[in-house]
């Protein structure tokens, strides 16, 4: 595996930070950046000039992870040439199909199935129902094909997110990268570290990822009551107090972040499904909780690996970044201390993370987790 990494600051060209002497022919080029930077129409051509034969995938972020640092307002680039394995990239758009589950099924159907080992998703994050999208890839799980990835971000603005494959970034894009090859080893894991508090309540009215009522009361009104003065900062302040959602007594709770609120309808739209009759609680975390959780996620991803990772894609939630503030890089450093310094590290802060729970096969949408995917040939 050959890897080249570079960073582009505002109004500056890309600056190589590793792999200066590497020549890549047809690499996978992952470009993660601030949404404003990705709106620059010259960016795609700039990347194409650097890697004329590259398969270029863009995703907007709430912060860029490159090496052991977290950037803000920049663009990070990681180009990977697999020496014994192959990949293919497929895409769709939420405007093409208005059912996110069907959209996922349609994208999956376009992949050649023979030898398909893993799918990594980079999805638009402002309007998609991530749970439904993952549901469209259920046949992949049944065929023992691993899945992980994340929803693109837009800092804490929640205005729009951008993604693309071999074109300038645009809204609504779902990018799926399929990996093939017997010698390819890919593992993923996630962990949050957030703690529930306050009374547990029952969802009495919801539709997919739209939450209407808790215990028969308007959910938004009840949530604002708990937030107090911070209710004026919604939806941004919701990142500090996500919801733990437990579908039934036997299921693992998932964390859901609020993406948008509708004052007129008195509803909240979350990043994934919030089924009727599920039990929910508010959650909170400290910086130390989050850093410790990043270490746990890394340990889970390293469990039972046969080879040391050569590439690590880290996707962490924007809510974690808001809590950590000036200490954000600590969770990245903690991951590196566990996986080793031999892996090239890239990734971004997101509006949602995709990975299975430890010991399970089914990919789930998460919020407020550190999710990492480790690659080696």
pLDDT tens digits for range 159-180: 999 999 999 999 999 999 999 9
Q: Would you say 152 and 83 are in contact if contact means Cβ atoms under 8 Å apart?
A: no
Domain boundary among 235, 255, 283: 283
Same domain, 235 and 129: no
Q: Would you say 120 and 176 are in contact if contact means Cβ atoms under 8 Å apart?
A: yes
DSSP 31-43: EEEEHHHHT-THH
Model confidence, pTM = 0.92
Same domain, 62 and 149: yes
Phi, psi dihedral angles at 371 (to 5 degrees): -120, 130
Same domain, 215 and 94: no
Q: CA-CA distance, 343 to 272, in Å (whole number)?
A: 31
Same domain, 159 and 90: yes
Same domain, 111 and 181: yes
The mean pLDDT value for 304-319 works out to 96
**Residue 351 in this model has a pLDDT that exceeds 90:** yes
Q: Would you say 325 and 92 are in contact if contact means Cβ atoms under 8 Å apart?
A: no
Strand partners, 256: 243
Q: Would you say 328 and 71 are in contact if contact means Cβ atoms under 8 Å apart?
A: no
Helices vs. strands in the chain: H and E counts, helices first? 9, 26
Q: State pLDDT tens for residues 36-95.
A: 999 999 999 999 999 999 999 999 999 999 999 999 999 999 999 999 999 999 999 999
Residue of 20 and 175 predicted with greater confidence: 175
Same domain, 13 and 124: yes
Q: CA-CA distance, 157 to 170, in Å (whole number)?
A: 17
Q: CA-CA distance, 34 to 153, in Å (whole number)?
A: 8
Q: What's the residue count for the chain?
A: 377
DSSP 267-313: EEEESS---TT-EEEEEE--HHHHHHHHHHHHHHHHTT-SS--SEEE
Q: Would you say 185 and 305 are in contact if contact means Cβ atoms under 8 Å apart?
A: yes
Q: CA-CA distance, 68 to 108, in Å (whole number)?
A: 33
Q: CA-CA distance, 230 to 226, in Å (whole number)?
A: 9
Q: State pLDDT tens for residues 215-272.
A: 999 999 999 998 888 888 888 888 889 999 999 888 889 999 888 899 999 999 998 8
Same domain, 97 and 136: yes
Domain boundary among 255, 283, 311: 283
Same domain, 274 and 139: no
**Residue 292 in this model has a pLDDT that exceeds 90:** yes
Same domain, 343 and 296: yes
Q: Which two tokens stand for residue 140?
A: 């992949």
Same domain, 295 and 201: no
Query: How many domains does the structure of the chain reveal?
Result: 2
Q: Which two tokens stand for residue 24?
A: 């890549």
Averaged pLDDT score across all residues of the chain? 94
Q: CA-CA distance, 292 to 193, in Å (whole number)?
A: 7
Structural domain of 273: 195-283
The mean pLDDT value for 11-33 works out to 93
Say which residues have a Cβ less than 8 Å from residue 92's Cβ, sequence separation at least 6.
103, 106, 107, 173, 174
Same domain, 258 and 169: no
Same domain, 159 and 20: yes
Q: State pLDDT tens for residues 179-218.
A: 999 999 999 999 999 999 999 999 999 999 999 999 999 9
How many CB atoms within 10 Å of residue 341? 9
Q: Is the peptide bond before 235 cis (omega within 30 degrees of 0)?
A: yes
Domain boundary among 253, 283, 313: 283
Q: Would you say 76 and 33 are in contact if contact means Cβ atoms under 8 Å apart?
A: yes
Q: Would you say 296 and 372 are in contact if contact means Cβ atoms under 8 Å apart?
A: no
Phi, psi dihedral angles at 327 (to 5 degrees): -100, 15
Q: Which two tokens stand for residue 130?
A: 């991530």
The C-alpha R_g of the chain, in whole angstroms, comes to: 20
**Residue 334 in this model has a pLDDT that exceeds 90:** yes
């Amino acid at each position: 595996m050959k890897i080249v990494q570079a960073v582009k600051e505002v109004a500056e060209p890309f600056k190589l930070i590793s792999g200066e002497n590497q020549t890549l022919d047809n690499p996978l080029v992952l470009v993660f950046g601030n949404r404003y930077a990705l709106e620059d129409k010259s960016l795609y051509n700039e990347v194409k000039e650097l890697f004329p034969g590259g398969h270029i995938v863009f995703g907007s972020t709430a912060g860029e992870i490159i090496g052991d640092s977290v950037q803000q307002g920049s663009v990070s680039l990681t180009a990977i040439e697999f020496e014994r394995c192959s990949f293919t990239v497929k895409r769709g758009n939420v405007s093409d199909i208005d059912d996110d589950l069907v959209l996922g099924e349609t994208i999956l159907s376009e992949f050649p199935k023979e030898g398909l080992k893993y799918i990594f998703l980079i999805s638009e994050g402002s309007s998609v129902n991530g749970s439904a999208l993952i549901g469209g890839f259920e046949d992949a799980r049944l065929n023992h094909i691993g899945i992980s990835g994340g929803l693109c971000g837009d800092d804490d603005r929640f205005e729009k997110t951008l993604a693309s494959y071999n074109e300038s970034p645009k809204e609504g894009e779902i990018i799926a990268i399929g990996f093939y090859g017997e010698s390819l080893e890919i593992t993923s894991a996630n962990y949050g570290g957030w703690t529930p508090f306050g009374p547990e309540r029952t969802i009495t009215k919801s539709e997919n990822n739209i939450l209407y009522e808790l215990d028969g009361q308007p959910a938004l009104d009840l949530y604002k009551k708990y937030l107090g003065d911070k209710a004026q900062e919604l939806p941004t302040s919701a990142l500090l107090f996500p919801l733990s959602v437990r579908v039934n007594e036997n299921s693992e709770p998932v964390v859901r972040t609020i993406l948008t609120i509708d004052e007129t309808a008195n509803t909240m739209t979350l990043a994934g499904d919030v089924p009727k009759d599920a039990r929910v609680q508010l959650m909170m975390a400290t910086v130390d909780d989050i850093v410790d959780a990043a270490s746990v996620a890394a340990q889970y991803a390293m469990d039972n690996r046969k080879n040391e990772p050569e590439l690590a894609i880290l996707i962490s939630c924007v809510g974690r970044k808001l809590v950590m503030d000036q200490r954000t890089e600590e969770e990245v450093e903690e991951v590196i201390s566990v996986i080793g310094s031999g892996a090239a590290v890239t990734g971004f802060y997101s509006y949602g993370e995709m990975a299975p729970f430890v010991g399970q096969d089914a990919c789930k949408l998460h919020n407020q987790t550190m999710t990492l995917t480790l690659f080696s040939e």
